[in-house]
Each structure stands twice: as structure tokens, then as C-alpha cells.
Amino acid sequence: MHATKIMIIGCGGSGKSTLAKKLHELTGLPLIHLDQLFWQAGWVEPEKENWRKTMEEQTDRPSWIMDGNYGGTMDIRLEKADTIIFMDRSRWLCLYRILKRLVQYWGRTRPDMTEGCEERVSWAFVKYVFHYNDTRRPGVLKKLERFKKDKQVFILQNNRQIQSFIKKIVEV
């Protein structure tokens, strides 16, 4: 498998950042956590045009691993990625992980977030995660179908598949 631009998407708590970090360690490709780029200290969002420009600039780099969704700019990453990974995990696992993360990083900033964005979970985010597989997943799968003939697309649903994928990366 030859990958130089790897995009990792999926529900909150699906393991995007964890996989991205592991792939970065194995490949040496630059790691870009979209949450760090998007959020400014105090959970301030960038202007939409500035965010699009940032995504254009970041995806024009020769190689990268990017984790995060941000649907408004997903098209930019889908076009420029050569490898797309969809972390297709159960709602219960994702909910468990976001709550675990909340406890683990309460009052602190996670390593994959912008400094000054202390860990928090809103009721809206919990509902988003709970309903992701019903509301967002079908659209993501439909989008990925369009890219399967031109790009490497992986849909990882369990730990065995994730470990198998990592093994393929190591073998390259």
C-alpha cells in the first residue's frame, strides 16, 4: 500500500485521532489533527472562508495524515487524499469513548486539540454521536462509493480490521 495523503473520518469517539497518531508513528507522514486547526483557544470557530483556505493550503502539502470530519470542507480532502479511512464504529463504543475522554481530560486540553480548548461534552454532541450512524453514516458511505475506483478506501468496523490495516501499512 502506498499512501502519502491519508484522510481519516468517522463519528466522534470512533478512534480517528488514535489511528492517525499510530499511522504517523509508523510512516513519519506529517500529522494534522483538524480539531487543532479549526478551533482557536476558548472554542472559537474560524470564518468559513478562512477555514476553506486553510484546508486548501493544508491539502496541497505533498503528504499528510488528517483526522476529522468537518463536512463543509470534506470535499477538499476527499479530492486530494489518496487513501480514505472511515472509522465505522458502533454508537455505543463512540459514546463510551467520548464519556471516557471527558473524564480523562476534564479541565484540560486533549493532545489532539488546540491549547485553551478544555475538554467538554455538550448534550448536542452526545445526540450527534448517538444519531451519527443513522443520520451521517449513509451519506458518508455514499460519498466514499464515488471514490473507490480512484482511491484506496477502507471502512474499518472493528479492532481486527484496524490491526490488519496497520499491519499492511507496516509491510510497505
* pLDDT > 70: percent of the chain: 98
**Domain count for the chain:** 1
Single-letter amino acid, residue 1: M
Summarize the confidence of residues 148-157 as an average pLDDT: 96
What confidence score (pLDDT) does residue 172 get?
61
2, pLDDT greater than 80: no
Domain that residue 116 falls in: 5-171
> Nearest to residue 10, comparing CAs of 133, 111, 92?
133
Whether the pLDDT of residue 68 is over 70: the answer is yes
Give the CATH number of the domain where residue 19 resides. Answer: 3.40.50.300
What count of other Cβ atoms lies within 10 Å of the Cβ of residue 11? 28
Per cent of the chain over pLDDT 90 is 94
User: Tens of pLDDT along 76-89?
Assistant: 999 999 999 999 99
Hey, is 44 helix, strand or coil?
strand
The 5-10 sheet, strands edge to edge: 31-33, 64-67, 5-10, 83-87, 152-156
99, three cell numbers: 464519556
Tell me the whole-structure pTM to 2 decimals: 0.95
**How confident is the model at residue 170, as a pLDDT?**
73
> How does pLDDT run across 9-58, given as a tens digit for each residue?
999 999 999 999 999 999 999 999 999 999 999 999 999 999 999 999 99
DSSP label of 110: -
